[in-house]
Each structure stands twice: as structure tokens, then as C-alpha cells.
């Protein structure tokens, strides 16, 4: 086995010395391209050092492109004649990927991802964010160190309440807002607040993650199918759900907007029992591209039945992890009594930064800019589709809201085949059928085109790839 | 009722106009000191505007000190002749307090708090943090927008693993580290991972919050008393707990360090059943002020029985909300299979900043500086106690680790009386008896002195107040 003596280590740490020795041997050709390196454990044992030392040396070499890793196989020497042409992050990416083999949203950088709705780095307001966070750190040192209220900083809750009033017409008491590190975390608070002995109704089709989270928390879920007006209230009324989790403003992935009639039927269902609640997930209401925003169900709830949830994942970035919910007054009282021992899960640095981002008007500007940007991107995509071979064999649906539309395609291929062929063409897609729990309701041949992370310059490439996939 | 016409509103928003009108009337003496203002709702109704508008105007006036609020009573005009002498944050504080009536750790700024262990703003490395976050925002735009692995960024997990090796002698695979927004959140992940049908043993005395969190998640807890060597393993062996949650390096609040013998007994207990696990909460191991750090229980666990938890709450600040746990390999595999659909709860901006803070050596420097600072603070406190009237009637215990010590006092007063008298003297204290679930084991007359947030210049004041309280 490859071995090194640490005799001449000098002032280096073990890790640095090992890293330098390997690098030298790769540069000198002693280790040749694609040669397999020893596993971390056996190398560590052989050199009588810790595996973490080997791990760190390997990580550094991966980061610099001298070696590469293949998940479940091991570490190999790179062909260093290529190194200078490859951006650094590619290697970082390869490296981090072995830690997240189950994260299906993460694809290699060469693949265009229509299944992800993360936003592109061009669209985050980095310079303003950087300025605000610097101001916060300069001016609020004492405040930043003080424990925040469990429900979040007053400043941020007030800014959100004002924003909801100005842009969503919602008259919300900031005292009823709870800030949390993502809606997923807030679901767990709802479960603890409402109780575990209830059945939660979730939309079918819908985000699978929602029922996964409830199931992981030992909650039974009932799947409620949709009509063109929203969840099927006949089935809801005949079923066993106590709490329903819905997105009335804009359902994902079908894009269905819950009709006014269904909204009142939902509230009537909620008013039937003290145990009934509606969780309104308003995740992308900022991005209605045509017409006026749809009023929130919360705005017509007179009986404290609606728990409203929203996040900054779509409107800013999912990587800042700030969401909020608005509890009916009696549930907020219960939260204060029973659950306010929890520390707020969002950093005070970021709460303060976001509060200023909203209250100083940057959030409004950002949303307006993004709405225009997404409208343009969507129009370019639709235009490219119309001009392509696809146009004769596809229908475009639900293109007026959110950051995706549906492409219904006339093809002989199964959805499974479509997705596999897409991957072969360097395209990651999802289909409507992926979101159905009950396969018999599912529709084949409908591709979901999430366009928030794609770049203008790739549109023609994407459409030509789609044409090949469908053929 | 007080009324305003909005006829001359000009380009102001309703909120601004109302705010300016009220401020004018307070300045002009039209509204007099301590005069009660209309409630938000009635004022809004009277003016035909939304309550949020009134709320915002009131909030602004509170922030500027023109009015003040009394929880559950209402809003009153301040005596503005005092305004210029009072720091702004005092009013912010009053204002935010009405949102957190259940947060007992938050006291008025004039009260010295020995019951809180937040850190003082003088001790957070703001300038380095600010520089690093600016660098991260400048250099890693693409990376910051990409969804992170569920368990957290590779960069931060690697930095933590290396830190644990260098400073705690723990050989940890970064792939087994999970980053989360606070240990409280990570407990909920453990519950979902291990299962809900187990009984969790918690230390008595101990942090009450731990059993509150388990109970809120429908988990039964069993309280295990302590001996001078750690949890009582006889009682543990005879009891029903499947999982135990302990802090062997330094128990809060007693300061007990679990002995080597008890450690092996605990591991033997864990090895008795496939369902048994030990959650090792290593929350302040960085701050052993005398002697070598206590090795982690994890370091002698050969059977994948120990879940190790730590956070940056004590070592940096509780307000940045970054904690981590190290799962045994088989539990990490289970996590990857079942729970990695969860998004990581910590912002990628802060994960990247913290990773650099650690890997560039700042964290080590910071901990060393803080250890010296706390040692000095503790020595000054102990010295002041020795020179005071207290010295003849108190014993000091467990002063060599963590950020607190115990002051056992000879007094006739009950702990309840001690705490009430402390509040009257502008001192917020907690007693050992506050941490007991089983009152019959509890010891009276032992004050917990948390000194992480106190200032040198207040030491004499604190001791003289303590003398008055005890008398």
C-alpha cells in the first residue's frame, strides 16, 4: 500500500503533510490518473494516524481537483492535465454529493434541472443583503445577543404584518405570527399545538413531503383528491380528516386555484367541529403573473379556523430558511401557554436583516423585479415551445402563476421512460404523476416545467432537449 | 374619543400620518403624561382604518419613547421630559416584552440577571463575523443559492469534525454529523429516528425544558436522580427508560462530572438492549476552567450507542441557532433513508460563515479568549464573595467548569422568598431547587450564579445585592 514517512514533517500538521505529499506525487506522476487511492480507514491504519486526518487531506485534494471520489467506490487520482479548465466548485460539488446520496434535487452541474425550484444566484439581492447585515452587526450588537421571543423578533413580525396588509390585504396582529426555520419545522409546532390524535387531510396530488412529515410525526394522513375547484369537499365531508393542509391560492403542481364556492364550503366544513382546522399554505402567492393576487382564505375566516403559512423560500431563497405562520388567537394563546419555552429557530442576525429588508422597501422592489423577470422567462419559454416541433403535440396549462407550468404531451412513452430519457439528455424533469398518492387518479404525459432556476441563454437548449426526449 | 382627520394627509401613509399627529399632540402637551390612549381596535374603528395601522403608529411611538404599553392594560403617553436621558433600546424592550409574556428569561434592562446564560455583546467576535459573512456573500453566490444536504453543508460538518478531533480528541466521520437550528430541533429528529414508543430518562435535577420537549412530542419521561458520580445507574437499571438524555461532562445545574466507573455502567446498560441509547449533551465542554477537558462518553462507545450533541450557544451565542449531533452509523443510515427529505434548518449563509470561522482558526482563538475571560470573571466574583459578609455564611461549589457556580447559603429564608427578595433588589436569580422534578430530593438555599452575561464593573453591586437578599 501507498505509504509515507512523517519523519520530515517539520512544522506541518499531519493533515497538511499528508496532503502535500500526495499532491507532490500526483504532480510528479508517481501516482497516475485514475489510480485508486487507499480507503480512508486502511490508509489511516497503515500510517498510524486518524481517519479524520486522511479524510481532511483527501477533502482538500478533492477541493483542489487533484483527486476525485466515486460514491461507494472510493478515491481516485484525477487527470491533472484537465485541472486548470475545470471550475473549483465542480469538485466541491462532487465531494459534497457523497454526503447526500438521498437528496434527489441535487444533480450534477452539467444537468439542467426542471424539477427544482431553487432560485438562481443572479436573482438574489446579494449587495443589499450584505449591506443590511453589515448595518445590523454594526448597530445592534446588544440586541443581537439577547434571546429573542419564542415566536420571533417583534421587528420582523411587525414588518411581515405590515407587508401582508400592504400586499395581501391581510389584517394580521403581529402577536399572532410565529417565525420558524422553514415551514417543515412549523408543521411540527402545529402538530404539538393541535395534538397528535387527529387525522390530517392532504391534497392528492400534492407535495409528497407534507404527508412524509406528518407520518414521521406519527400522524395519520388522508388523501383528498382535487376537482377543478380545489379539494373535493364532498369527499372531505364524508371522510375522517380533522385538519386539512391545502394551498388554495395556487396548488402545486396542478396550479388549481380554489374557487370562491369551495372556499366557503371549506370554511363550513371547518365550522362543523371544534377540532377542525385548515392549514393554508400560501407558498408562492407573490408570483401570480397575470391578474390580481388571489385573496387568502384567512381573509374570509371569521371563526379562528385558518392557520396561514408562508415562507421566503420562493420570494427570496430557500437557503435562508425563514418561514412564518399566523395562528388564530386562541391557538396563539395556547402556544404562549404551552410551547413558548422553545427558542426561536431563526438566527437573530437574519431576522433583523430580513426585517429591514422588508420595512425599508427592498422586499417589495425585489418581488416586483422577480415577477417581471419570471414573466419574461416564462414568455420566452412558451415562445420557444411554440416555435419548436413540440408545439404540435403539446398543450400548456396553468402558466399564469407560480414558478412552473405544465406541459401535456402526446407521446407513446411512459412517464418513467420520459424521465429516464431526459436524464440521458442532461435534463432532470418531474411529471405530474410523481405527485399522486393514488395512481388511478394520475394523469400520464404531463411534464412540470419549473423555470425559476433556469437561465435565458439555456432556453433553446432546453427545448431542443425536450423535443429529443419526447420523440 | 381621540380623533384625527386624514384630510391633510398629503403624501404620507395612514400610519405615518397617525404617528406624526400623535407625536405632535404629545410634544404640544395636548396629550398629557400617563394619559391612556384608545385601544388599537377601538381607535381603528373610530378612524375607519385598520388596526395594523394603529399598531404600527403605536409601535413607532413606543420605539421612540413617546408612549409606553402595560401588558394587558393598554397604551399610555410617556412623560417626554424624561425621554432624552433614556436609551432607545429600553423602549424597544418594553415594546417587545408584551409579545413574550411567557418568556421568563427576559427581564428589564435595569435588573441584573444571574439566571440567564446569554453572552454579553462585548464578547461576540462581531468584526470577524462581519468580515467572514461579507466574504461568503461576495465569493460564494452560486453555492449560497443551492439547496444544502439535509444534514448540513459538507464544509461545516468537516470543520466541526476537525475541531472535535483537535480539541476534544473525537474521531468523527463528518458524514455522521447533522446540523440543526438548535438542540431543541435536533431532539425532535432523534424522536422521529428512534421512535415514539420508548421511555426517555432525563436527569433530576436537570433542565426542565428537556422533559417539556419530550412531553410535547408525546414521549413519556422517567426522571433519574443523580449520585455524586452522575446518574444513578442502580435506579436506571431497575427503571423503564429505553433512552437516556444526560450531560456527563458537566451536569447542569449541579456541575457533577460523571465518573469513569459510571460511564462504563452507562455503556453496559446501553448494551443490554438494542433499543437502548444514550444522548450525550456536551453543551459547555469548551469551558472547563481548570485541568484537562473531560473526554466525551462518545469516545469510549464501541457499540454505536451514543448520540453526541453540542451547540455553539455557549461558545458563540445562543442567538445564532446552530447546533449539531453525531449519530451512530446505523442511525445515520436510517436518517438518510427515512428523514433526509427534511431541508436543513440552518441558513446556508450562516453555515458557510461558521465553517470559515472554525477552519480559519478564529473559533479556537475565541474559545481560548473566552475561557480566560470567564476564569477572570469567576475569580473576581469569588474574590468579592470572600471579602463580603457572605463569606461567613456560604459555601462555593462546582466553580471549575461551565459558566456558573453554586452558592450554598446558610439562611432562614425559603428559596421562594430568596428569589422574591432578589427581584425587589433588582437581581434575577435561580436556585438549585428550581431544577428538581422530585421536590423531596431537592436542596434548599443553593443559588445558581450564571456569570456569562454579567459585567466586571457590576460585580461589587451584585455581591452587595446578594448580601441584602440573604440577610
pLDDT number for residue B63: 57
Nearest CB to B52: which of A89, A171, A349? A171
Show which of residues 46-75 on chain A sit within 8 Å of chain B, judged by CB atoms: 50-53, 55-56, 59
| DSSP run (H or E) holding A467 | helix A459-470
Averaged confidence pLDDT in chain A: 87
Contact across the interface for B340 and A100, Cβ inside 8 Å: yes
Contact across the interface for A319 and B154, Cβ inside 8 Å: no
pLDDT number for residue B93: 26
Interface membership of B157 toward A (CB under 8 Å): yes
In order of A129, A137, A183, A436, A440, the CA distances from A365 in angstroms are 13, 24, 24, 36, 44
| Gap from A411 CA to chain B (nearest CA, Å) | 32
Contact across the interface for B96 and A343, Cβ inside 8 Å: no
Chain B residues with CB inside 8 Å of A56's CB?
A: 158, 162
Q: Is the pLDDT of residue A82 over 60?
A: no
pLDDT number for residue A80: 67
Nearest CB to B196: which of A106, A218, A317? A218
Contact across the interface for B343 and A174, Cβ inside 8 Å: no
Would you state the cell numbers that stand for residue B443, as one nine-digit string? 436542596
Contact across the interface for A337 and B102, Cβ inside 8 Å: yes
Contact across the interface for B50 and A165, Cβ inside 8 Å: yes
Contact across the interface for A103 and B161, Cβ inside 8 Å: no
Distance (Å, whole) CA B172 – CA B159: 11
Model confidence band, residue A127 (pLDDT cutoffs 50, 70, 90): very high
Contact across the interface for B173 and A55, Cβ inside 8 Å: yes
pLDDT digits (tens, 9 = 90+) for B84-100: 332 222 222 233 333 33
Structural domains in chain A plus CATH codes: 14-77 (1.10.10.10), 105-118+365-470 (3.90.1150.10), 142-360 (3.40.640.10)
Contact across the interface for B181 and A185, Cβ inside 8 Å: yes
Residue A218 burial (CB < 10 Å; 0-12/13-18/19+)? middle
Would you state the cell numbers that stand for residue B383, as one nine-digit string? 474574590
Say if CB A280 and CB A247 are below 8 A apart: yes
Least CA distance to A49: which residue of chain B? B171
pLDDT digits (tens, 9 = 90+) for A84-118: 332 222 222 233 333 333 333 344 556 788 888 77
pLDDT number for residue B82: 46
Contact across the interface for B149 and A96, Cβ inside 8 Å: yes
Residues whose CB is less than 8 angstroms from the CB of residue A8 and which lie 6 or more positions away in sequence, other chains included: none
Contact across the interface for B345 and A342, Cβ inside 8 Å: no
Dihedrals φ, ψ of A146, to 5°?
A: -80, 135
Q: Is the pLDDT of residue A63 over 60?
A: no
Interface membership of B16 toward A (CB under 8 Å): no
pLDDT digits (tens, 9 = 90+) for B311-346: 999 899 999 999 999 999 999 999 999 999 999 999
Q: Is the ipTM of this complex over 0.85?
A: no
Model confidence band, residue A166 (pLDDT cutoffs 50, 70, 90): confident
Distance (Å, whole) CA B440 – CA B436: 9
Q: Tell me how long chain B is.
A: 471
Model confidence band, residue A398 (pLDDT cutoffs 50, 70, 90): confident
Least CA distance to A142: which residue of chain B? B121
End-to-end CA distance of chain A: 51
pLDDT number for residue B9: 78
Q: Which of A381, A324, A325 is nearest to A354 (CA)?
A: A324
| Gap from A263 CA to chain B (nearest CA, Å) | 24
Chain A residues with CB inside 8 Å of B63's CB?
A: none
pLDDT digits (tens, 9 = 90+) for B119-135: 888 889 999 999 999 99
Interface membership of A113 toward B (CB under 8 Å): no
Chain B residues with CB inside 8 Å of A342's CB?
A: 184, 213
Chain A residues with CB inside 8 Å of B358's CB?
A: none
Selected for mutation to probe chain B from A335, A346, A350, A357 (highest B CB count within 10 Å) is A346
Chain A residues with CB inside 8 Å of B339's CB?
A: 216
Q: Percent of chain A beyond pLDDT 70?
A: 92
In order of A176, A248, A288, A335, B406, the CA distances from A282 in angstroms are 17, 7, 12, 21, 50
Residues whose CB is less than 8 angstroms from the CB of residue A440 and which lie 6 or more positions away in sequence, other chains included: none
pLDDT number for residue B376: 92
Angle between helix axes B362-386 and B348-359 (nearest 10 degrees) is: 80
Contact across the interface for B119 and A145, Cβ inside 8 Å: yes
Quote the pTM value.
0.78
pLDDT digits (tens, 9 = 90+) for A2-18: 888 887 777 677 877 88
Interface membership of B102 toward A (CB under 8 Å): yes
pLDDT digits (tens, 9 = 90+) for A247-280: 998 898 998 888 888 999 999 999 999 999 999 9
Distance (Å, whole) CA B305 – CA B301: 7
Q: Percent of chain A beyond pLDDT 90?
A: 58
pLDDT number for residue B23: 84
Q: Is the pLDDT of residue A438 over 90?
A: no
pLDDT number for residue B103: 37
Before B222, cis peptide (omega within 30)?
Answer: no
Chain A residues with CB inside 8 Å of B153's CB?
A: 96
Sign for the pseudo-dihedral over CA of A219, A220, A225, A230 = negative
Distance (Å, whole) CA A36 – CA A2: 10
Interface membership of B329 toward A (CB under 8 Å): no
**Could you tell me whether strands B230-231 and B220-227 are parallel, antiparallel, or unpaired per DSSP bridges?**
antiparallel
In order of A136, A324, A357, A455, B134, the CA distances from B137 in angstroms are 15, 24, 16, 21, 5
Distance (Å, whole) CA A236 – CA A262: 11
pLDDT digits (tens, 9 = 90+) for A295-340: 899 999 999 999 999 999 989 999 999 999 999 999 999 999 999 9
Contact across the interface for A99 and B151, Cβ inside 8 Å: yes
Task: Tally helices (H) and strands (E) across chain B.
Answer: 16, 16
Show which of residues 344-363 on chain B sit within 8 Å of chain A, judged by CB atoms: 344-350
Contact across the interface for A118 and B55, Cβ inside 8 Å: no
| DSSP run (H or E) holding B275 | none
Nearest CB to B185: which of A173, A212, A345? A345
Positions of chain B with pLDDT under 50: 82-107
pLDDT number for residue A183: 96
Question: Span A453-462, mean pLDDT?
Answer: 90
Q: Tell me how long chain A is.
A: 471
Amino acid at each position: 500500500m501507498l505509504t509515507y514517512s512523517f519523519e520530515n514533517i517539520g512544522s506541518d500538521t499531519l493533515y497538511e503533510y499528508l496532503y502535500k505529499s500526495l499532491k507532490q506525487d500526483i504532480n510528479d506522476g508517481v501516482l497516475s490518473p485514475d489510480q485508486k487511492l487507499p480507503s480512508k480507514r486502511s490508509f489511516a491504519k497503515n500510517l498510524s494516524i486518524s481517519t479524520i486526518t486522511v479524510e481532511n487531506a483527501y477533502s482538500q485534494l478533492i477541493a483542489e481537483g487533484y483527486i476525485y471520489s466515486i460514491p461507494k467506490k472510493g478515491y481516485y487520482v484525477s487527470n491533472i492535465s484537465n485541472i486548470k479548465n475545470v471550475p473549483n466548485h465542480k469538485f466541491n460539488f462532487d465531494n459534497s454529493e457523497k454526503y447526500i446520496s438521498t437528496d434527489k434535487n441535487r444533480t450534477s452541474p452539467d444537468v439542467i434541472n426542471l424539477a427544482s425550484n431553487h432560485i438562481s444566484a443572479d436573482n438574489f439581492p446579494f449587495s443589499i443583503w450584505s449591506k443590511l447585515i453589515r448595518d445590523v452587526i454594526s448597530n445592534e450588537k446588544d440586541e443581537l445577543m439577547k434571546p429573542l421571543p419564542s415566536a420571533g423578533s417583534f421587528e420582523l413580525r411587525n414588518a411581515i404584518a405590515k407587508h401582508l396588509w400592504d400586499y395581501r390585504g391581510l389584517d394580521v396582529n403581529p402577536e399572532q405570527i410565529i417565525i420558524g426555520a422553514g415551514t417543515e419545522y412549523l408543521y411540527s409546532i402545529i402538530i404539538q399545538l393541535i395534538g397528535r390524535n387527529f387525522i390530517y387531510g392532504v391534497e392528492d396530488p400534492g407535495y409528497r413531503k407534507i404527508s412524509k412529515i406528518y407520518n414521521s410525526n406519527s400522524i395519520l394522513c388522508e388523501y383528498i383528491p382535487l376537482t377543478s375547484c380545489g379539494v373535493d369537499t364532498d369527499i372531505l365531508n364524508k371522510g375522517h380528516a380533522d385538519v386539512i393542509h391545502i394551498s388554495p391560492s395556487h396548488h402545486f403542481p396542478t396550479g388549481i386555484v380554489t374557487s370562491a364556492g369551495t372556499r366557503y364550503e371549506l370554511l363550513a366544513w371547518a365550522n362543523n367541529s371544534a377540532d377542525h382546522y385548515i392549514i393554508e399554505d400560501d407558498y408562492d402567492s407573490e408570483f401570480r403573473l397575470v391578474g390580481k393576487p388571489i385573496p387568502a382564505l384567512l381573509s374570509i375566516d371569521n371563526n379562528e379556523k385558518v392557520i396561514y403559512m408562508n415562507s421566503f423560500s420562493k420570494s427570496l431563497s430557500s437557503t435562508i430558511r425563514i418561514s412564518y405562520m399566523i395562528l388564530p388567537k386562541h391557538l396563539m394563546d395556547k402556544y404562549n401557554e404551552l410551547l413558548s419555552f422553545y427558542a426561536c429557530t431563526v438566527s437573530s442576525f437574519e431576522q433583523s436583516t430580513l426585517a429591514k429588508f422588508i420595512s425599508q422597501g427592498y422586499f417589495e422592489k425585489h418581488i416586483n423585479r422577480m415577477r417581471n423577470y419570471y414573466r419574461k422567462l416564462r414568455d420566452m419559454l412558451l415562445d420557444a415551445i411554440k416555435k419548436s416541433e413540440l408545439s404540435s403535440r403539446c398543450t400548456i396549462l396553468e402558466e399564469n402563476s407560480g414558478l412552473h407550468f405544465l406541459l401535456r404531451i402526446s407521446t407513446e412513452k411512459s412517464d418513467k421512460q420520459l424521465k429516464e430519457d431526459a436524464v440521458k439528455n442532461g435534463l432532470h424533469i418531474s411529471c405530474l404523476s410523481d405527485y399522486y398518492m393514488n395512481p388511478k387518479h394520475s394523469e400520464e404525459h404531463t411534464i412540470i416545467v419549473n423555470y425559476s432556476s433556469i437561465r435565458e441563454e439555456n432556453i433553446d437548449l432546453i427545448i431542443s432537449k425536450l423535443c429529443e426526449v419526447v420523440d
